[in-house]
Amino acid sequence: MSKESVDILIIGAGPSGAAAAWSLSSTSLSIMCLEQGDWMDPSKYPSTRRDWEIMRAHEYNVSPNVRKHPADYPINDKSSPIAIANFNAVGGGSILYSAHFPRFHPSDFRVKTLDGVADDWPVNYSDLQPFFSENDRMMGVSGLAGDPAYPPHEPPPGGYPVSLGPMGEIMGKGFNKLGWHWWPAYSAIITSRTYKGRQPCINLGPCNSGCAQGAKASVDITYWPLAIRNGVQLKTRSRVREITVDASGKATGVIYYDENNNECRQNARVVIVACNGIGTPRLLLNSCSSHFPNGLANRSGLVGKNLMLHPLGYVEGLFEDPLESYLGPQGCCILSHEFYETDSRRGFVRGYTMQLLRGPGPIETALSGVLRRQIPWGTEHHQAFAKHFGHIVGMAIIVEDLPEQHNCVTLDPNLTDSNLIPAPKITYKLSENSRKMLAHGLSKGKEVMIASGSQKNFAFGPVRQTGWHLMGTARMGTDPTSSVVNEWGRSHDIKNLFIVDSSIFVTSSAVNPVSTMQALALFITDKIKTNLTRLFD
């Protein structure tokens, strides 16, 4: 079945694809997006049910290998200490992310110049600054201006920071005692007023299983309604198998499977890939032809290479006072960039974020307490539970991992999805630099827990089920021999093929990537719009 050609075909309706679609929808171009998942129904999100903690562990699990929704594809991540997390739906990963929304720092774009490792980006912070701001407005980011860890920028438009609560306050005091940086979280969550039709946060808690309130900015409720109103056609349950090319090596469109598993063809003048750091290299590697026998846009040999995952450490403190720590947006409270910038005295280059998490709900408190022998069975259970529930503070240590070619996405020779499309295989190990950084972060995390008054602490990492941040597998750069796309996301090999997701990141920084990824998508589509008449030069 062949379909009429469109000007722009976007593959993937997640955060970057949505931003790209909305940005391009201001033109008169015909735009279509193909998404393998479907629209979500917020009235069915776990927070609407009493068993929300159990649903989060199963139907809304972060791993496609556990969830096994029809839209999911399996991922062989057995050769990685970090399991891959994603979500396949309109909204993509933003359906389940915690909406922690810090930007990359200026130094993150100049890693080689400042620290002599990896590579500088072909764009810098100031290039992206207007697009950070535009994206903040579109997503409705809340927070507090004046953070000395960032260059000055306008106040976040979504309202005051998410509530600190007693937990955030006590930890803030602990950071102050040590003289360390901390700041209320930047959150893509509306807090203090209605914003663009979205109601403010009511502290449901499990943001990372979908927000029934609509306060959290998943792109199915931010970018997509506007893009569709502007004429973008979004086709769901449409899984792309490969991008096709003509005799000259130019992209001609895609072959995909529709909701009835019919094989379809969609022609396009320009193809934009937005499938994330795993899905994008998978699609390119599955798109072999005589022009590109090793995968599309892969003359550099770097498609799938340099995978970065942000190894994550976990620090937990148990406090005597009740902190109501189970209340509030699960992944957003405060962050610290005290150890973000390189300090050679620490024995490693680059740095990490400390991201304060809310405490667990009752089921998770009991399960983990029993597992760790902190909450016994029998007559003493109730007393021990009461000492833990609402008294636990969690902290994530988000470590910057540097690009290394042996960390990669390849095609699994045996595993396929339900359409028999080869599935991705992940090969990844932590570098010595990452291990040192992680150990430092775990130690410093315990230090601030103690300074804040915790009675007991424990820390471990890397945590396996945390591979949300998928970066680097189709990196950008000015040299076609050492990068996949150029400084505005266009394939070096194919002039009508663009990539806008975090696979084009040159380095990973040490913050959650969505803010920067969407700013980059807006930057690239702005370049497409301003270069329309000479797009293929």
To other proteins, the closest distance from the beta carbon of 36 in angstroms equals 28
Query: Which residues 6+ apart lie within 8 Å of 312 measured at CB?
Result: 82, 396, 397, 398, 399, 461, 462, 463, 466
- Written as one string, the DSSP assignment of 117-141 is SS---SS-HHHHHHHHHHHHHHHT-
DSSP annotation of 314: E
**Please, what is the minimum distance in Å from the beta carbon of residue 418 to other proteins?**
25
CB of 48 to other proteins, least distance (A): 5
> In angstroms, what is the minimal distance from the CB of 514 to other proteins?
20
**What token pair was written down for 202?**
């009511």
Please give the structure tokens belonging to residue 406. 């042996």
User: What CA–CA distance (Å, rounded) separates 215 from 434?
Assistant: 35
Q: Which is nearer to other proteins, 168 or 462 (CB)?
A: 168
CA dist., res. 352 & res. 349, Å (int): 10
- Note the residues at the interface with other proteins (CB under 8 A): 45, 47-54, 105-107, 114, 144, 146, 148-151, 160-161, 163-166, 168-169, 172-173, 175-176, 179, 181-184, 202-206, 212-213, 324, 327-328, 337-338, 340-341, 362-363, 366-367, 370, 377-379, 381-383, 385-386, 389-390
Residue number with CB closer to other proteins (143 or 462): 143
Smallest distance, other proteins to C-beta of residue 316, A: 18
* Alpha carbons 411 and 287: distance in angstroms, whole number: 11
In SS3 terms, 402-421 reads as: CCCCCCEEEEEEEEECCCCC
- Least distance CB 81 / other proteins (angstroms): 24
Q: For the CB of residue 14, give the shortest distance to other proteins in the complex, in Å.
A: 24
Sign of CA dihedral 480, 481, 487, 491: positive
Cβ neighbours around 527 below 10 Å, total: 17
**Tokens 């996301």 belong to which residue?**
489
Q: Between residues 354 and 474, which has the closer beta carbon with respect to other proteins?
A: 354
Q: Which of 104, 65, 116, 69 is nearest to 89 (CA)?
A: 69
CB of 183 to other proteins, least distance (A): 7
d(CA 88, CA 418): 14
Closest CB to other proteins among 104 and 256?
A: 104
Q: How far is the CB of 118 from other proteins (least distance, A)?
A: 15
Smallest separation, CB 144 to other proteins (Å)? 7
Name which of 179 and 413 has its Cβ closer to other proteins: 179
**Residue nearer to other proteins on the CB measure, 206 or 313:** 206
d(CA 178, CA 176): 5
- Which one, 151 or 301, has the nearer CB to other proteins? 151
Judged by beta carbon, residue 53 or residue 77, the one nearer other proteins is 53
Q: Identify which of residues 68 and 181 has a Cβ nearer to other proteins in the complex.
A: 181
Asked if 136 and 524 count as a contact pair (C-beta separation under 8 A), the reply is no
Residue recorded with tokens 């602490």 = 457
* Nearest distance in Å: CB 321, other proteins: 14
Rank residues 130 and 151 by Cβ distance to other proteins and give the closer one: 151
Helix, coil or strand: residue 272: strand
Instruction: Tell me how far apart the alpha carbons of residues 527 and 521 are, in angstroms, rounded to a whole number.
Output: 10
DSSP assignment string, 156-208: PTT-SPPP-HHHHHHHHHHHHHHT---EEPPBSB--SS-BTTBPPP---S-GG
**Residue 223 φ/ψ, nearest 5 degrees:** -70, -40
Could you give the C-alpha distances from 186 to 101, 124, 381, in angstroms and in order? 5, 21, 38
- Closest contact distance (angstroms) between CB of 207 and other proteins is 10
Q: How far apart are CA 268 and CA 275, in angstroms?
A: 17
The span from the CA of 438 to the CA of 400, in Å, is 9
